[in-house]
Amino acid sequence: MFFKKLNCYELFMRRILHADMDAFFAAIEQQRHPELKGKPLVIGDSGDPRKMDLVSTASYEARKFGIYFKMPLKTARELCPHAVFLPADHKEYEKVSKRIKDILGKFCPIMEDAGIDEAFLDISRIDKPVEEIAREIKKMILNETGISCSIGIAPNKLLAKMAWINFLKNLGSLRVDISTRRRGE
Ligand SMILES: [Mg+2]
């Protein structure tokens, strides 16, 4: 049984946390190759901008040049000729992903895997302010893997995932943490 049956009040007060790693593949490569930190970095299947491969992840430094997910590597090179292009190392990304899921699962066992770099946690039963929980999770993941993440918290999964959207900033009653939320990939 995933969730204990909740009464109406508890359902309304549910707190779902969505954790999403920031520029995940690029962040892992920047951890492995510290000389790439702070530089525009583009990860594609082959990493060869002469081929028709698409961008898997662009570092935030590369995004400033207009490079985004699924853009042809060729176009990315036109936009930012000095960017570093690397092939995707899915084996390594899976390994780091598993470590992060283990950290999240230990923090809160009611976890739903939502992809290689994201997960939902039902933190309704954790008796701490949401900001504190978000801070703790971000710190744990950063300390143990060097990867930073964005956290959204809301009464349901959809809103938690959408927490980076600006208009939600005004819905303070949803207790959405948008402090570091940025659009990821
Ligand atoms: Mg992400």
Catalytic, out of 35, 61, 112, 118: 118
Say if residue 16 is in the same domain as residue 40.
no
Q: State percent of the chain over pLDDT 90.
A: 59
Q: Domain total for the chain?
A: 2
pLDDT of residue 169: 41
Strands 84-87 and 41-44: parallel
If you measure from the C-alpha of residue 21 to the centroid of ligand 1, how many angstroms do you get, rounded to a whole number? Answer: 4
Say if residue 54 is in the same domain as residue 141.
no
Residue 13 has pLDDT above 50, yes or no: yes
If you measure from the C-alpha of residue 93 to the centroid of ligand 1, how many angstroms do you get, rounded to a whole number? Answer: 12
Q: What does the pLDDT look like over 21-62, one tens digit per residue?
A: 989 999 999 999 999 999 999 999 888 988 889 999 999 999
Q: Is 144 a catalytic residue?
A: no
If you measure from the C-alpha of residue 167 to the centroid of ligand 1, how many angstroms do you get, rounded to a whole number? Answer: 20
Strands 16-21 and 149-154: antiparallel
At residue 184 the predicted structure's pLDDT band, cuts being 50, 70 and 90, is very low
State the CATH number of the domain containing residue 130.
3.30.70.270
